[in-house]
Amino acid sequence: MRPGRAALIVRTAILASSIVLLEIACRTGVVDSLTIIPPSDMVASMVGQIGSGELNASIATTFSTIAIAFLLAVVLGTAAGALIHRLPRLRDVADPLLASYYSVPTFIFYPLLVALLGLGKAPLVVLGVLSAVPAVVISTLSGLDSVAPVLMKLSRVHRLSSGQTLWWIILPAALPHLFTGFKLALSYALIGVIAGEFILSGTGLGYAISFAYQSFDNRTMYGVMLFVLLIAVTANGILYVWEGRLARRRSQG
């Protein structure tokens, strides 16, 4: 059995065991239902809300905002990382800022963004971008640093153009680091948007969770939380599988 498949089986077994233990603890009263409801009830609540269509508007609002923030973070972060990598003096200034960036919770700027941009999707998009861009910048810098000088000499020997060097040399060499940044960017964009909706927004899944929490509606709250969790895990899983396929193609090539 391949190590990757064995690790997947172990993770699945641990997760399944944890869910079963939580179900038993909730059903037997070891865990108070006011704190956590049984996982089976979470699934039933999630399916019921999705089936009734009551979450359709919130789903569309939240995930369109996350998608926009993620794409902007990837484009802007990659471009900024490439620019910083080409300018050593700029990197000397940027490195300490990037290292300490996540010590400040970016969602505290949401009230300021609302004052500047108004209510709606724009401040949430900016918040998601602010949360995700540094991860992409850092991964881009790491990826470009990992390109061996001999590969650049090889491109010059073969007289490759800048575009050919980027496509055939730099991107394949930097790809593992870039995908790490993309996965982190997706997570940070989701966190930033959901947190913004939870705190001040009047729409989206974050608002739905906040409203259910304030209404002591644990069944609805955990159903929405489970849905967000499953979507996040699925999206990261897709990126993980895509990264693995590209890595295998790269090694075969």
Q: What angle do CA 92, 188, 205 make, to 5 degrees?
A: 155
What contacts 175, CB < 8 A, 6 or more positions away?
A: 143, 243, 246, 247, 250
CA 137, 142, 145, 146 torsion: positive or negative?
Answer: negative
Residue 17 lies in a domain: no
DSSP string over 111-149: HHHHHHH-SSHHHHHHHHHHHHHHHHHHHHHHHHHTS-H
Q: pLDDT tens digits, residue range 135-155? A: 999 999 988 888 878 777 877
Mean pLDDT of all residues in the chain? 84
**Higher-scoring residue by pLDDT: 143, 5:** 143
Residue 2 lies in a domain: no
253 pLDDT more than 60: no
- What pLDDT score was predicted for residue 114? 76
- What pLDDT score was predicted for residue 74? 93
- What pLDDT score was predicted for residue 72? 95
191 pLDDT more than 70: yes
**8-12, 17-21, 122-126, 232-236: which has the minimum mean pLDDT?**
8-12
Residue 30 lies in a domain: no
CATH number of the CATH domain containing 220: 1.10.3720.10
- What pLDDT score was predicted for residue 167? 72
Residue 12 lies in a domain: no
Domain holding 124, by residue range, is 36-252
Cα–Cα distances (Å) from 178 to 34, 89, 94, in that order, read: 43, 23, 18
Rounded mean pLDDT of 167-172? 76
31 pLDDT more than 60: yes
Rounded mean pLDDT of 47-67? 89
Residue 4 lies in a domain: no
- What pLDDT score was predicted for residue 181? 87
Residue 44 lies in a domain: yes
Residue 1 lies in a domain: no
Is there a contact between 133 and 211 (Cβ–Cβ < 8 Å)?
no
Residue 77 lies in a domain: yes
Q: Total domain count for the chain?
A: 1
CA 151, 73, 135, 97 torsion: positive or negative?
Answer: positive
